């Protein structure tokens, strides 16, 4: 008769969790994760606060511009494109104009703009439009969002470089 061991669910003991942990065991990986969280708790708190603000803003726009499920989703389109524009401006400011600051990029870039913009809603709305038989609207939304977002981030970068005093890229205009 064969001997069958019962093992707890999860990764086998002593083996790496994944390639990112480079040989750590499960216990070592957990320890590294908690050490990272403890050493970056201030930045994680700043990101969380920014995310809450950005999400509340996006919710407000959704309330002002409700979506029927079959028309063009203007609320998501507007928040994603405006978020791309704002991210372009922000990156010029934090990389080329302002001195290094620990919390600006995490708070505004990851938190506020991460909460403001939404890829998941964008994809879900496109899927819903397709399911409702509105393929032309879905493709206009998907393509239009991509093109408008890329143009917006480019415009944000260009405008910030043009208007921001002290930009290190002033000669690149």
> Does a structural domain hold residue 85?
yes
Q: What is the pLDDT along the chain (173 residues), one digit of tens a residue?
A: 555 555 555 555 554 455 555 555 667 767 787 888 888 899 999 999 999 999 999 999 999 999 999 999 999 999 999 999 999 999 999 999 999 999 999 999 999 999 999 999 999 999 999 999 999 999 999 999 999 999 999 999 999 999 987 766 554 44
Domain count, the chain: 1
> Does a structural domain hold residue 76?
yes
pTM of the model: 0.77
* Domain, as residue range, for 78: 22-167
> Does a structural domain hold residue 7?
no
Annotated ligand binding at 117? The verdict is yes
DSSP the chain: --------SSSPTTS-S-GGGTT--HHHHHHHHHHHHHHTHHHHHHHHHHHHHHHHHHHHHHHHS---SSS--HHHHHHHHHHHHHHHHHHHIIIIISPP-TTHIIIIIIIIHHHH--HHHHHHHHHHHHHTT-HHHHHHHHHHHHHHHHHHHHHHHHHHHHHSTT-TTGGG-
> Does a structural domain hold residue 14?
no
């Amino acid at each position: 008769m064969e001997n069958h061991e019962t093992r707890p669910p999860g990764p086998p003991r002593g083996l790496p969790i994944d390639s990112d942990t480079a040989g750590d065991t499960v216990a070592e990986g957990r320890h590294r994760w908690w050490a990272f969280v403890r050493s970056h708790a201030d930045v994680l708190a700043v990101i969380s606060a920014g995310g809450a603000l950005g999400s509340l803003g996006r919710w407000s726009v959704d309330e002002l511009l409700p979506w029927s499920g079959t028309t063009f989703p203007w609320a998501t389109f507007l928040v994603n494109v405006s978020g791309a524009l704002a991210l372009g401006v922000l990156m010029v400011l934090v990389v080329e104009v302002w001195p290094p600051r620990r919390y600006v990029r995490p708070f505004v870039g990851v938190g506020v703009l991460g909460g403001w913009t939404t890829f998941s809603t964008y994809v879900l709305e496109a899927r819903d439009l397709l399911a409702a038989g509105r393929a032309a609207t879905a493709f206009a939304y998907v393509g239009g969002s991509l093109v408008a977002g890329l143009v917006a981030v480019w415009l944000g970068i260009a405008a910030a470089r043009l208007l921001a005093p002290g930009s290190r890229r002033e000669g690149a205009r």
